A and B are shown apart, each in its own frame.
Chain A
Amino acid sequence: MQERRDLSDRQINRDLLWPVLYTPLWFWVAVLALGLVVSAGAGAAAWWMNKGPGVAGLNRPIMWGHLIVTFVFWVGISHAGVMLSAILRLTQAEWRRPMVRAAEVLTVFSLATAALFPLLHSGRPWRTLYWVFPYDFSRGIWPNVRSPLVWDPSAIFTYLTGSALFVFVTLLPDLAALRDRTTGIPHRIYSLLALGWRGTPRQWRLQALAGILLSALILPVFVSVHSIVSWDFGMAVSVEGWHATVFAPYFVIGAVHSGVAAVVTLMALMRWLFRWEDYIRSEHFDAIGRLLIVVATAWFFFFALEFLFGLYLREPQEVALRQAQVFEWPYNLLMILFLLTAYFIPVPLWLFRKVRRNVALMFWTSVLVNVGMWLERFLIIVPGLARKQIFTFEWSVYRPSPIEILMVTASFALVALGILVFAKVFPLVPVNEAKEGQVLKAEIRVGRRTVPAIVREQ
């Protein structure tokens, strides 16, 4: 059952632009709280750089810990934007409208946050230039272009640039709306950003075309980003459990799973904080819940393939690794938590329509998914590294230091803060999309019933 209402253009403007034009008290409280956490994380990062990576719980053979796990996690979250915005735009899914902007913005901030982690992990961020740029001609030092570690920054920055451009292009009509409703310096800034938008038919046509072209162009980048992240691991023969052909699609579909779940979390928060019940409705949660069932099940299929074919050759080291993941403390507990939270609790719940249409339940189940997906990345990276050296007499156990925990926590605050500040400056639900949805809304009489309908976009 759809719950859409007839809304006038004036009402849509008022409802969707109020967070930009007026500032509630809770906004400052939230910014202050998140800012404190981010500051603490920045302090931890400064400490890390001053003292070196020895302040972390890293030790041979586990040299990739929480920071790299969180890097993979945030890259995963960033896949929400393209999945929901580009694909649903290309497939003309009507229910995409209220969530596309939030998904795109989540992409930008999570990707920017993800990019920080390899830099911080290096301990000397400025030295990462060695990896990427051929700056030292005299010594003949060149980046190793055959290394996935060099492909990573290229893919991430291409995706970040494309996503930011995507957000900007789709924002243009809303920027013009804000330009027409502000005065003084904000008016000048919005005027500059709106690029002289007047809403002429030609401008609309170009804007729609740019959106479609960017959607199509960004799709290969979207797939390449997490594939390359997976190849950081998958190209290494020396670490058990990593050299698997399924890693690239497994990482990508896992990223989509966590990213779409993160969008659900964000949608619920937007609905509660900005009182957008008329725009983010239970039918949208229903639709995205159905999408999540499909995505989660596809992800689980790839997970099963990865695990099953890990055992396929019955190589003793690989079997020992799988045994460690399933039976040995603390990985066994993490494995159970991971499976329960990423799949076995949320997906059976989403099968029920009542759950899919319940905003609170969708919020909490989507949070659970991302707890599970963070654990998944941990279980891929750490146990494999722990058993990397064949002759190690005692397998190492990795425990994160408070510095690492603080930096990881701060990354969540940083993404939240970024989105909150964005919402203060730009509308998080596209005003033009909401209006277009109203125009294309229709009804059909079937017998004694009236069925909601849409005018098909050509």
Chain B
Amino acid sequence: MHPLPRSTTTTRDHPVEEYPTSPREVAEDIVGRAEAPWPRWRWLVLALGALFLLGVVGLALRVGQGGDHTRWGYYAALLGFLYTVAGGAPIVSVATRMAKAHWRRPLARIAEVYAVVGVLTLLLFIPLMGVIPPAEGRNTIWIVGGVRQGWPPGAPVAYDLLTLVMVALGGLALLWIAAIPDLAALRDRGRGGLTALLSLGWRGTLRQWQVHRAALGVAGGLYFIAYVGGCIPFASDLVLSFVPGWKDSIFPAYYALSGLQAGLAAVVVTAFFLRTVGGYRRYIHVDQFWGAAKLLLALSLLWAYFHWSAFLTFWYGRTPTGQNLQVLLYFGPYRPLFIASLFLNWLIPLFAFLIGPVRRSVLGPTLVSFSILVGALLDRIRLHVATWSVPDPRGHTFEAVPPPVPLGVADGLLLVGGIGGALLLYVLALRFFLPMSAWEMKELTYLRVVRPFLKTRAVVLGKPE
């Protein structure tokens, strides 16, 4: 049984929830749960495994229906959704660690573990390699034949695969480096095998901590570059280049940003789950949801701003391609998806988070995050299905808007199974890496104290640099 939070102290306006106060207490509590991160863990694994099998059936059906790319839009949407959400989540840890925000600590591992989904996106891309049309005659960033015939070889799929490999490996490296001290703690409690191997003989010497800190910074920076940079080929090869004549320089940035928004939302929903069901109430407080809500508000505003910038430019340009493109993406058959994502990704977060008590609660940010995740999935379906429905992506002008592609049985199974598979991987990885970063929480016990301040009590945060 996990104890309830200690009594709270109160500042002028708000209760201050207290974390465990001693490093030993943190270590024993977090590392001690390694065998079953939360109650009924195995049931969850079985349920997700069943969903994943449905996805495998869906994939078999999809492959059986042939390699016409217009039928693979939902599959590409699933890949895009998983790539951006799971790829964006670890950035939450990287960015808040860079900003030295203490509230990040209970969320850091939750975010980093999403990197394991990168392996699934890599596997999901393999069937698409035979479906994506060749780059010849299409507008792609690879400018095939621009310098000489047949160069660059293998474009675009080889480079997209390379991008996915880099993001997957970068994410796993980040997760591994961040988890080394905790893996060593598990090793010292008798877990051998891969855990002992990956802990690299960690003893916690001053030198090891210095190297660890530098490596974490470098891995975080490289992962950030890999993810955001990777969105350029990914977004242009899997969305933009399917519509002839669509030149949209903000689109890769929008793709990366909406992924960050959805990634943070995934972290918030996971944190809520771990707090309420997983028994991590002592570590995950309102502070974490509050901090995340402020970031989500900013990301939601940027989401709308990027949309607006692109929309207005095409609207004013009044070129035939631009007008047809707006029909395809905004006013035509996919309009309901656009309106839904406009509400779920922008209006709901905006108006909900403008209200202080909603922002500063556990349930408010969680519900809004769930809305963002649903909106992100719908947005990816709108983008990928609409663009992949164009029969011939070659040429320089987009002349006719194709009819919509309805959701088939295979597509439905793929979406459910793909998301189930991603969650299965995540849950399995949580058991291996621990849901909470014990060393970062221990550090917090040193750097955060509650003290009397004037006539009240306040939190004092250490800033070592």
Contacts and interface: CB of A to CB of B under 8 A. Distances in A.
B399 to A, nearest CB: 15
B396 A249 contact: no
A353 B232 CA distance: 31
A456 B232 contact: no
A442 B253 contact: no
B247 A237 contact: no
Interface string A432-453: 0000000000101010000111
Given A231-B312, A301-B228, A442-B451, A452 B253 contact: no
Interface string B230-267: 00100010000000010111111100000000000000
Interface residues of B, number: 47
Given A312-B141, A313-B396, A245 B461 contact: no
B143 interface: yes
Given A313-B396, A442-B451, A453 B250 contact: no
B67 interface: no
A444 B313 contact: no
A308 B146 CA distance: 14
Interface string B302-316: 000110011011101
Contacts of A34: none
Nearest to A235: B316
Interface string B84-118: 00000000000000100000000000000000000
A248 interface: yes
B464 A451 contact: yes
Nearest to B245: A313
Interface string B439-465: 000000011010101000011111111
A244 B313 contact: yes
Given A305-B253, A306-B249, A308-B232, A249 B13 contact: no
Contacts of B324: none
Contacts of B319: 237
Nearest to B317: A237
Of the four ranges (under 10, 10 to 19, 20 to 34, 35 or more), the interface on chain A belongs to 35 or more
A310 B305 contact: no
A2 B139 contact: no
Given A312-B139, A458-B14, A305 B250 contact: yes
Contacts of B294: 91
A455 B453 contact: yes
B217 to A, nearest CB: 11
Nearest to A302: B253
Contacts of A454: 460-461, 463
A244 B11 CA distance: 50
Contacts, number: 117
Nearest to A312: B247
Interface in A76-106: 91, 94
Contacts of A235: 312-313, 316-317
A48 interface: no
Majority SS of interface residues in chain A? Answer: mixed
B462 A453 contact: yes
Interface in A318-362: none
B12 interface: yes
A187 to B, nearest CB: 33
A150 B274 CA distance: 52
Given A223-B305, A246-B253, A453-B461, A309 B248 contact: yes
Contacts of B451: 442, 455
A74 interface: no
A380 interface: no
A455 B448 CA distance: 10
B463 A244 contact: no
A245 B462 contact: no
Given A249-B253, A305-B250, A305-B252, A243 B317 contact: yes
A305 B250 CA distance: 7
A56 B153 CA distance: 51
B312 A308 contact: no
B447 to A, nearest CB: 7
A191 to B, nearest CB: 30
Given A245-B251, A247-B313, A312-B247, A455 B139 contact: no
A94, A302, A442, A452, most chain B CB atoms within 10 A: A442
B310 to A, nearest CB: 4
A244 B453 contact: no
B141 A308 contact: yes
A452 B143 contact: no
Nearest to B257: A249
A1 B464 CA distance: 7
Given A249-B253, A444-B460, A444-B462, A314 B139 contact: yes
Nearest to A236: B316
9 contacts: A237-B317, A237-B318, A245-B251, A308-B249, A312-B236, A313-B247, A314-B139, A455-B459, A458-B458
Given A246-B253, A312-B236, A451-B447, 4 more contacts: A302-B253, A312-B140, A444-B449, A454-B460
